[in-house]
Amino acid sequence: MGKVYQLSEAISKYVKDGDSIAFGGFTTNRKPIAATSEILRQGQKDFVLYTGAGGSEADMLIGAGRVKAFINCYTANSGVTNVCRRFRKAIEKNEILFEDYSQDALLLMLHGAMLGLPYIPIRMMLGTGLIDEWGISEEVRKTVDKLPNKKYVLQDNPFDPGHQIVQLPVPQLDVAVIHVQKASVSGTCIIEGDEFHDVDIAIAAKSTIVTCEELVSDEVIRRDPTVTNIPGFCVQAVVQVPYGAHPSQCYNYYDYDNVFYKHYDQVSKTEEEFDQFIQEWVMGVKDNDEYIDKIGASRLAKLKPVQGLGYAVDMTKMAQEGK
Amino acid sequence: MADYTNYTNREMQAITIAKSLTNGQIAIVGTGLPLIGAALAKRIFAPDCILVVESGLMDCAPIEVPRSVGDIRLMAHCAVQCPPVYYMGFQANEWLHGNDRMVAFIGGAQIDPYGNLNSTSIGDYHHPKARFTGSGGANGIATFVNTVIMMQHEKRRFIEKVDYVTSAGWMDGPGGRERAGLPGNRGPIMVVTDKGVMKFDEKSKRMYLAGYYESSSIEEIVENTGFEIDTSKATLIAPPTPEDIKIIREEIDPGQAFIKVPQ
């Protein structure tokens, strides 16, 4: 039973200032937002942040000034906010260190971390700004503990001389934070739907914090090993956090909350309104229970997916329209 | 009875994308117009084309239009769910095997005459006037896969030199990709805008005007292109049928998430 925590305990035990930290999910799908909010409440900062295809979690941490260096490939609440606004402003105002990789490159770096490889060779990025421009210079990299010393190294392919390849550094992750559908008390996880890079970072990180919709017994989770994704020994903390990915989607559990995303799109336009939003929805609520109470049961009920489709549809409306 | 003859340039753009797909092709689709175009292709023009997304979902057949390539709407009727790293394997292996089945739709804020695309930032990279998402999957796609590029046709977007190359086109012309270390047998094949269709000259690799819409004109396209463009091969592209427009408005994007219906 030693791995089951309250969210506040898990975050305070495993997330420290200056950590190299990775989040799971993909833009507006299965983003660990409740865990992000708890980090914001507790105050940890100076992160080297990896999010894969990032969304609100990256935008909120950047907007609240908690990120020292952001390793970016794409940051958007797609369909609502096409470029996350606090991310955008922080770069335009030169307020954070950032590095750009292609999504393939970044996810392969995290995959390399999962495999424990020393570095990872790719053919992408050649001929482009991703090679020409370094967001973070070698000199600055020396001043940030958890950053690799170089963005990349170009090398002649030793197995195919005359062809250049790009060697990418593999990050050493201190913490991975993921949100899953089901986890057992010993940390075994079930991810339903696209796993994204979540399994990679869970294996790669020194400490993995899992928030889950449902906490189940080890006996239950062992009934079908064909649907489990992460062995418990890769997980340090398990926390039951219903709606822990809200406003993003959680397959088989809820759809994205578009009203919330549209509100965030508006308030993230200015620093003042963003700060008010953080006051209201993060600092102003004690924990996730207060957060979901504040959103309200009827609103959450509307996000429930239709069986067979996997997403929320207003079936009453469809029936009336004769579809 | 709704009017389906009042099509917009954006709908024309979606239909042009849809018609560029053929049966058996594997299309890598991104959010927005490419998904609308690909969904339309699957309904009408190329029902046996295969849709894949970079988040790792293979052979998708979404009903409602997804908002992102990670949207759970892509799970409905999807054939195989893979981690994203598998997607990268498919992309590279199609090239390694010498297959020509794959085509990808990508876009950007700026494009140059050789189809090099910028979706990273405007102005100085470190102090940008405007910062965008960054590459996403586009850079890897532009490395290994032939691309159809989606753009808004504006003078400030079609420029001689882009501020940052996020996705490689034909680089600086013939042999440019090889010199950069990129596969020379891959690159942009077409640019589809709200005003017309551009292709790339086989020898010079420079963009030329291949077609314009009934609702645009050669003059309008030249006026909105910030570099010299050959128009000698331009032909009029046939307008969409009301049936095509009806499917977009009634079935594919009824919520008008990406295409607004004219009032």
B180: CATH: 3.40.1080.10
pLDDT at A23 over 80: yes
pLDDT at A103: 96
**Average pLDDT over every residue of A117-126:** 97
Residues 69-98 of B with CB under 8 A from A: 69-73, 75-76, 81, 83-85, 88, 91-92
What integer is the mean pLDDT of A230-248? 98
Strand, coil or helix: B195: coil
pLDDT of residue B199: 98
B3 in a structural domain? no
A197 touches chain B (CB under 8 A): yes
Identify whether A85 is part of a domain. Answer: yes
CA distance B211 to chain A (A): 29
Q: Is the peptide bond before A148 cis (omega within 30 degrees of 0)?
A: no
What beta strand segments (E) does chain B contain?
Answer: 26-28, 50-52, 57-60, 80-81, 102-107, 110-111, 117-118, 121-123, 128-131, 146-151, 188-193, 196-200, 207-212, 235-236
B120: in domain: yes
- Determine whether the interchain pair B76/A103 forms a contact, defined as Cβ–Cβ distance below 8 Å: no
> Taking CB atoms and an 8 Å limit, are B70 and A163 in contact across chains?
no
Report CA A113 to chain centroid distance, whole Å.
16
Question: A237 lies in a domain?
Answer: yes
Is A140 a domain residue? no
Establish if B214 belongs to a structural domain.
yes
> How many C-beta atoms surround the C-beta of residue A296 within 10 A?
10
In-domain check, residue B259: no
Mean pLDDT on A91-102? 97
Domain that holds residue A234: 1-117+173-323
In angstroms, the CA A63 to CA A25 distance is 19
Residue A138 lies in a domain: no
- Mean model confidence pLDDT for chain A: 96
Question: What tens digit of pLDDT does each residue of A213-238 get?
Answer: 999 999 999 999 999 999 999 999 99
Domain-located, residue B263: no
In a domain, A130, yes or no: no
B197: which strand partners? B192, B211
**ipTM surpassing 0.90:** yes
Say which DSSP state A279 is in. Answer: I
- Minimum Cα–Cα distance from A111: chain B residue: B85
Beta carbons of B164 and A194 less than 8 Å apart: no
Contact call for residues A30 and A248 (beta carbons, < 8 A): yes
* Total domain count, chain B: 1
**Which residues does B130 contact at the CB level (< 8 Å), separation at least 6?**
A88, A92, B109, B121, B122, B123
* Cα end-to-end distance, chain B, whole Å: 14
Check if the beta carbon of residue A179 is closer than 8 Å to that of residue A241: yes
Minimum Cα–Cα distance from B73: chain A residue: A311
More confident: A315 or A92:
A92
CB contact under 8 A, A310 and B85: no
Cα–Cα distance between B150 and B143 in angstroms, integer? 17
In a domain, B174, yes or no: yes
Cα–Cα distance between B230 and A53 in angstroms, integer?
38
Residue of B nearest to A95 (CA): B127
Task: Write the CA distances from B173 to A43, A174, B106, B115, integer angstroms.
Answer: 52, 45, 20, 10
User: What's the pLDDT at A321?
Assistant: 63
Average pLDDT over residues B16-25: 94
Q: How confident is the model at residue A323 (pLDDT cuts 50, 70, 90)?
A: low
Say what the pLDDT of residue B32 is: 80
Residue with tokens 């489709």: A309
Domain that holds residue B39: 9-252
The mean pLDDT value for A117-139 works out to: 98
Mean pLDDT computed over A2-21: 97
* A73/B134 CB distance under 8 A: yes
Give CA–CA dist A63/A271, Å, rounded.
Answer: 8
Q: Is B136 on the interface with A (CB under 8 A)?
A: yes
Say if residues B54 and B31 touch (Cβ distance below 8 Å).
no
Which of A 105-134 lie inside 8 A of B, CB atoms? 105, 107-108, 111, 123-130, 132-133
What is the model's pTM? 0.96
* Tokens read off for A153: 């190294």
Q: Cα A260 from chain centroid?
A: 18
**Pairs of residues, one from chain A and one from chain B, whose beta carbons lie less than 8 Å apart:** 186
B68 contact A CB<8A: yes
* Chain A positions in Cβ-Cβ contact with residue B52 (cut-off 8 Å): none
| Averaged pLDDT for residues A162-184 | 97
Within 8 A of B91 by CB-CB distance, chain A residues are 104
Give domain status of residue A12, yes or no.
yes
Q: What is the CATH number of the domain that holds A51?
A: 3.40.1080.10
Question: Nearest C-alpha of chain B: how many angstroms from A28?
Answer: 7
Name the minimum distance, in Å, from the CA of B133 to any CA of chain A.
Answer: 5
Nearest to B170 by CA among B182, B157, B154, B158: B182
Q: Is B54 a catalytic residue?
A: yes
Number of residues that make up chain B: 263
**Does the CB of A27 have a partner CB in chain B at under 8 Å?**
yes
Residue B143 phi, psi dihedral angles, 5° rounding: -75, -45
Contacts of A94 in chain B (CB under 8 A): 126-127
| Inter-CA distances, A278 with A24, A151, A268, B100, Å | 21, 33, 10, 49
Å between A23 CA and nearest CA of chain B: 15
User: What's the rounded mean pLDDT across residues A35-40?
Assistant: 98
Asked if B143 and A126 touch (Cβ cutoff 8 Å), the reply is yes
Closest CA to A29 of B107, B53, B87, B77: B53
Find the closest chain A residue to B67 by CA distance.
A79
Average pLDDT for residues B84-110, to the nearest whole number?
95
Residue A158 belongs to some domain of the structure:
no
Contact between B122 and B110 (Cβ < 8 Å): yes
Characterize A79-115 residue by residue with b for buried, 16 or more Cβ atoms within 10 angstroms of its Cβ, and e for exposed: bbbebbbbbbbbbbeeebbbbbbbbbbbbbbbbbbbe
Element (H, E) at B87: helix B84-96
CA separation for the pair A254, A245 (Å, rounded)? 9
Residue of A nearest to B80 (CA): A194
Q: What is the nearest CA distance from A15 to chain B, expressed in angstroms?
A: 26
With a cut of 90, say whether residue A96 has pLDDT above it. Answer: yes
How many structural domains does chain A have? 1
